[in-house]
Amino acid sequence: MLYVVIIFLWASILLYLLLGGADFGAGIIELFTSSQNRTQTRKILYRAIGPIWEANHMWLIIAIVILFVGFPAIYTTMSIHLHIPLTIMLLGIIARGTAFTFRHYDAVVDDMQSVYNRIFALSSFITPLFLGIIAGSTVSRQIDPEAYSFQDAYIFSWLHPFSVAVGLFTVAICGYLASVYLIGETDTPEERKRFLSKAWMMTCAAVGCGGLVFGAAYWEGIPLMQWVFGEIWGILGVTAATLSVGALWLFARKGYNNILRVLAGFQVMMILFVATYQHFPNIVLMKNGAYLSLLEHKGDDKTIQALAWALLLGSVFILPFLIYLVYSFQSKEKEEAPVYGDV
């Protein structure tokens, strides 16, 4: 049953990257859209993320609950040493959701709409940035359980080049996912061409930020090259992701929108796979050479068993209704929602 819990943990992280990441990416796309196209871009964003934007964070909650219940030592270490980026990320989630709601449903149309727009766009950038910083920190060997100063314990555990580079890479991935997903939501050839251009720019940004990640890893002595290319599975994963990028642009020219989304999701899945499988089951690597393992630092066996059954039964009830939610929104004819204010 332990591996059932681990699979749910990995799947929840993946789904949060794919769905929540595309949600954040919508705001990133808006942030880097020219003022003359911003209003139309917002209309497309509302239509695309409206069905699931409130449900996206469910995957993050599931991952947190799994760590809290099933792996308390890992949860405690991360929540203590990374409490600053965690707090910033959670504040970004709250600010983004609040701004999205008020700019969309506010009964009073005034200058506050511009404030809501700015908060939505900036928090869409900040939140995945710190999500990536947290992810990078867990494997950077900068978390020092023996630290005596505040800076060593709570600042330098996450504020260093590798984690920041992973954060920027996460932002680029979110923007890439959103731009690819939104291609299928466009109504005119001009809009499609514009989002194809954004997808290309985000592809270049992701490649550039990926280079920063490897450069920072080399600078800090993190064996990222060994993790990714040290075994055949990593090489196959990178090769598959690279080939799927070429296939994506081939299908983009032919207008196969659903295939584009599948390929973009597959690329992110491969990135997550090659970044985690080599040091599995060690999920947190610390400065003194210690580590926290999903196999060695699990909770009580009865707790793991109860958690596994709860996840299995919960998925039976939740997933069908979530799929129906998306289907009902996509099949229903909706009026265009009003979009107010420009950043």
Give 64's pLDDT tier (boundaries 50, 70, 90): very high
**pLDDT tens digits, one per residue of 256-312:** 777 888 898 899 999 888 888 888 889 999 988 889 999 999 989 999 999 999 999
Q: Which residue has the tokens 């796979």?
A: 273
Assess whether pLDDT exceeds 80 at residue 218.
Answer: yes
Question: Mean of the pLDDT values across residues 315-338?
Answer: 64
3-class DSSP state of 157: coil
The per-residue pLDDT for 333 is 42
Alpha carbon distance 155, 104 (integer Å): 37
**pLDDT tens digits, one per residue of 24-47:** 888 898 888 877 777 777 777 766
The tokens describing 119, both together, are: 């908060």
Q: What is the DSSP string of 273-338?
A: HHHHSTTTTEEEEBTTS-EEETTTS---HHHHHHHHHHHHHHHHHHHHHHHHHHHHHHHS--PPPP
List own/partner pairs for 36-39 with CB under 8 A and 24 or more apart.
37/194, 38/342, 38/343, 39/339, 39/342
Q: How many residues does the chain have?
A: 343
Cβ atoms within 10 Å, residue 297: 18
Assess whether pLDDT exceeds 70 at residue 329.
Answer: no
What is the distance of C-alpha 99 from the center of its chain?
19
Question: What's this model's pTM, rounded to 2 decimal places?
Answer: 0.88
Q: Cα–Cα–Cα angle for 99, 104, 110, nearest 5°?
A: 85
The per-residue pLDDT for 80 is 93
Task: Please name the residues in contact with 194: beta carbons below 8 A apart, sequence gap of 6 or more.
Answer: 37, 186
66 in Cβ contact with 12 (< 8 Å): yes
Question: Taking the chain, what is the end-to-end CA distance rounded to the nearest angstrom?
Answer: 50
The tokens describing 242, both together, are: 């690279």
Alpha carbon distance 66, 69 (integer Å): 5
Higher pLDDT, 331 or 15: 15
Mean confidence (pLDDT) of the chain:
85
- Of the listed ranges 49-53, 128-132, 154-158, 258-262, the least confidently predicted one is 49-53
- Of the listed ranges 93-107, 140-154, 221-235, the least confidently predicted one is 93-107
The per-residue pLDDT for 331 is 54
* % residues pLDDT > 70 (the chain): 90
Assess whether pLDDT exceeds 90 at residue 137.
Answer: yes
CA distances (Å), 95 to each of 102, 115, 148, in order?
11, 11, 33
Question: Mean of the pLDDT values across residues 316-333?
Answer: 68
Assess whether pLDDT exceeds 60 at residue 337.
Answer: no
The per-residue pLDDT for 129 is 96
Assess whether pLDDT exceeds 80 at residue 51.
Answer: no
Assess whether pLDDT exceeds 60 at residue 127.
Answer: yes
Question: Mean of the pLDDT values across residues 320-333?
Answer: 64
Give 343's pLDDT tier (boundaries 50, 70, 90): very low
